[in-house]
Amino acid sequence: MLLLKLLKKEAPKNWRKILFMAIASGIANGALLAIINNGSSAASNDESKGLLLVLFTIAMGIFIVAKKWSLTQSTKLIENILRDLRIRFADKIRKSELQIVENLGKGEVFTKVSQETNQISQSSILIANACQESIMLCFCLLYIAFLSFAAFFVTIGSMAIAIYIYFIHQKGLEEDMNELTNQEGQLLDSLSHLIDGFKEVRINSNKSDDVFKTFTQKTLATEDSKININVKIATDIMFSHVFFYFLIAVIVFLLPQFVPTYNDVVLKLTAALLFIVGPLEMIVACIPVMTRSNLALNNLFKLEKILDKNLPIEDEPNPATLEKYFDFKEIDFKEVSFSYRDNLGESLFSVGPFDFNIKRGDTIFIIGGNGSGKSTVLKVLLGLYNRDNGSLSIDNQIINNHSLTPFRNLFSTIFTDFHLFDKIYGIKDVDEEKINRLIDEMDLTGKTSFKDGRFTNTHLSTGQKKRLALIIALMEDKPVYIFDEWAADQDPHFRKHFYETILKQLKSDGKTILAVTHDDHYFHHADRIIKLDYGTVQEIKDRNDFKV
């Protein structure tokens, strides 16, 4: 079972202590059965029961203490392991290549890191208790063997047959659960169409009906799968009950016919069998939970394998070297190319090869039609996409995996698909007065403010969100700023303010600017204009003669 492998791998010492206490709990539970049986015999023969009462109290005390400790510690252990798993996954995700994260998709990563770990967390106490009950069951079987070898072999044989039948049935159930996981993922994707595409759905009734119909179909398919799985689980539970009553019938009615001395222990054996009915029901009921947890762990390990396989080899960020390139003079691209590829490795779209340089203090506008590769070039520049060919250097120093982190630290970016954070991460001492001045400059006063280390509201229009993102970028105070069509969602006033005030101020502060734009009325504010045409780069030296 993957959960046990995980315990052995992540906590090799702690799980042994828990196992020891679980065994102690099982022994105490088995001892309680023997003491109760002996107490019943003593009561029927009017014998003294004082010693048995003392033994019962001791066994009960050991059982309670050991069971509670092992359950508590196993829960803590599993939660600690899941905490480390979440942190480890988050660390690997943040260090992964952009294309890997894009290919995985937000839904898949969220489902596996959040929902799958929650599934294991919610199942942990049931699984731990079932494992304890299994240990107790073993000791009860030993007690049955002590009472009668014939009853023991009948019990073991019957259980072996039942387990064989049960696990054949479980294979189909595991396949159904795996399919249910896929269906739930599809249902989540279908729901995201309703939420993420709400505007389009709301204004197009045909599209709304079609999207809703698809969501309904996914919901019904998920419902059918869950009903099918629950019916199979109910069948397994009924099977366990039928098996148990069949076993009692064999022990009580058939064995006395073949074993002459059997009548002396039949009552004790019946009590023993009744004593193990609870553990058996717990184990049977927990098997589907264990199966689901096993699938969840398997999905997590598959995700981790993908991340590990594609994890780039980079030096760990060193605060002492993060600003090593802040005084750069020039960044050079030489024969750089990049291609998007399908699963078979075939090129879908390429940019380059191209050559150009970025001099410190330059204001460079990047232009071109939709799909010309403007955003792709920026991502290649930042090392978010790995180059297929060519070199990237800064002041004649080649940028490689060991220097990529301090190189990226040069930039502050706002992409078209930017994420708006609710606070300014990465800055220890935030100047709240300056932020609120910028909020006022961006005409966001009354819409949001900066209080207690975070923005009070980020539910803004697209243009307002971009202005808030710009405030964060300005507070980062990096040497190079990248703006990917920042002005596209701004009204004429802020569009003019961006080109004639903000960019001008950044340039006067010695900042280097790369801005993707379509605003030809403001091309005269650029030092150079670079046009992309189907991935090919052309530098336009005389911007006044350029026609869009």
**Span 407-426, average pLDDT:** 87
Kindly report the length of the chain.
548
In the sheet that holds 330-341, the strands lie side by side as 347-359, 330-341, 389-394, 397-398
The Cα 147–Cα 272 span in angstroms is 10
Backbone angles phi, psi at 391, to 5 degrees: -135, 155
Q: Are 128 and 77 in contact (CB under 8 A)?
A: no
Joined tokens for residue 206: 């045909």
Q: What is the pTM of this model?
A: 0.70
> Which residue carries 């955003």 as its tokens?
375
Strands 389-394 and 363-368: what pairing?
unpaired
The Cα 181–Cα 222 span in angstroms is 9
Candidate from 55-64, 129-138, 255-264, 324-333 with smallest mean pLDDT: 255-264
Query: How confident is residue 359, by pLDDT bands cut at 50, 70 and 90?
Result: very high
Query: How confident is residue 548, by pLDDT bands cut at 50, 70 and 90?
Result: very low
Query: Sign of the CA dihedral 271, 272, 275, 278?
Result: negative
Q: Are 499 and 518 in contact (CB under 8 A)?
A: no
pLDDT at position 317 is: 62
DSSP string, 99-155: HHHHHH-HHHHHIIIIIIHHHHHHHHHHHHHHHHHHHHHHHHHHHHHHH-HHHHHHH
Q: Are 26 and 132 in contact (CB under 8 A)?
A: yes
- In 3D space, the residue among 466, 450, 538, 530 whose CA is nearest the CA of residue 502 turns out to be 466
pLDDT at position 127 is: 73
Tell me how far CA of residue 479 lies from CA of 362, 422, 423, in angstroms. Answer: 11, 23, 21
Helix, coil or strand: residue 390: strand
- In 3D space, the residue among 527, 548, 528, 532 whose CA is nearest the CA of residue 540 turns out to be 528
Query: How confident is residue 252, by pLDDT bands cut at 50, 70 and 90?
Result: confident
Widest distance between CA atoms in the chain: 116
- Backbone dihedral region of 261: left (phi > 0), alpha (psi from -120 to 50 degrees) or beta? alpha
Instruction: Find the helix or strand (DSSP H, E) in which 536 lies.
Output: strand 536-540
The Cα 380–Cα 388 span in angstroms is 10
**Span 176-204, average pLDDT:** 76
Cis peptide before 406 (omega within 30 of 0): no
Q: Does the structure show a pLDDT above 60 at 48?
A: no
Joined tokens for residue 431: 């100047």
Segments of the chain assigned to CATH 3.40.50.300: 330-545
Name the CATH architecture for the domain at 330-545.
3-Layer(aba) Sandwich (3.40)
Candidate from 241-250, 270-279, 343-352, 432-441 with smallest mean pLDDT: 343-352
Q: Does the structure show a pLDDT above 60 at 13?
A: yes
Tell me how far CA of residue 357 lies from CA of 332, 333, 396, in angstroms. Answer: 4, 6, 11
The Cα 467–Cα 457 span in angstroms is 13
- CA angle centred on 12, ends 287 and 163, rounded to 5°: 20
Segments of the chain assigned to CATH 1.20.1560.10: 2-309
**Span 358-367, average pLDDT:** 91
Query: How confident is residue 483, by pLDDT bands cut at 50, 70 and 90?
Result: very high
Joined tokens for residue 89: 């996954």
R_g of the chain, CA atoms, integer Å: 34
Query: pLDDT tens-digit profile of 67-118?
Result: 888 888 877 888 888 888 888 888 888 887 787 777 776 666 776 677 777 7
Query: pLDDT tens-digit profile of 493-518?
Result: 889 999 999 999 999 999 999 999 88
One-letter identity of residue 1: M
Name the CATH architecture for the domain at 2-309.
Up-down Bundle (1.20)
Alpha helices (H) along 394-540: 404-408, 432-441, 462-476, 492-497, 503-508
Tell me how far CA of residue 197 lies from CA of 200, 379, 494, in angstroms. Answer: 6, 26, 28
- Give the rounded percent of residues in the chain with a pLDDT score beyond 70: 89
Higher pLDDT, 502 or 163: 502
The Cα 215–Cα 346 span in angstroms is 33
